[in-house]
Each structure stands twice: as C-alpha cells, then as structure tokens.
Amino acid sequence: MIGDKVRELFADAAAGDMASIVAIGCFGGIAVIVSMSLIVQMLQREGSGAKKIFWAMVLLVPLIGWMFYLAFYKVPPSQVHR
C-alpha cells in the first residue's frame, strides 16, 4: 500500500511532476537535517571512535536508522565535574 504510493510518487517525479519533485526534496531535506543533528549530538558525547562511526552510518538511513539509534544507543556515563 505505502510502497505503491511511494513508487507512484517517484514515477510522477521522473515524469516531471513538480509537486512530486518538491515532496521528495522536502522529505530528503528534512531527513538530512535530522540525521546530521543526531550525528553532531552523538559525536559530542564521550565514547569510542569505532562506536561513533558505526552509529553515524546507521543514522544516515532515514527513519529506520533513527529508530535503531534511539532504541539501542546507550550514552556512556559522564564523569562528575568538580
């Protein structure tokens, strides 16, 4: 159902339908903004470099990557600053 609508949207965009092109562009732009903001926030935290690289790659997959990140990424405990 949803897959059919997405295929139809991309087919319309390929045919030159401006509304479909704008819709895809808006979703893509929002996806990039959300992914980059989550990646920047994650990179500012403590933790190993390999773990950060792995989660950065996961976050580049819109929606599914975000859900995995929010469900499974554990923030390392912070040291108490005196």
Contacts of 36 (CB under 8 A, 6+ apart): none
What is the token pair recorded at 55?
Answer: 């989660």
Decide if 48 contacts 30 (C-beta within 8 A).
Answer: no
Q: pLDDT tens, 19-42?
A: 877 887 887 788 888 888 888 888
Residue 76 pLDDT: 63
Q: pLDDT tens, 45-69?
A: 877 888 888 888 888 877 777 777 7
Residue 1 pLDDT: 65
**HSE-CB for 24 with a 13 A CA cutoff:** 16
Residue 2 pLDDT: 67
Q: How far apart are CA 2 and CA 60, in angstroms?
A: 22
Q: Which residue has the higher pLDDT, 41 or 4?
A: 41
* Reported pTM: 0.57
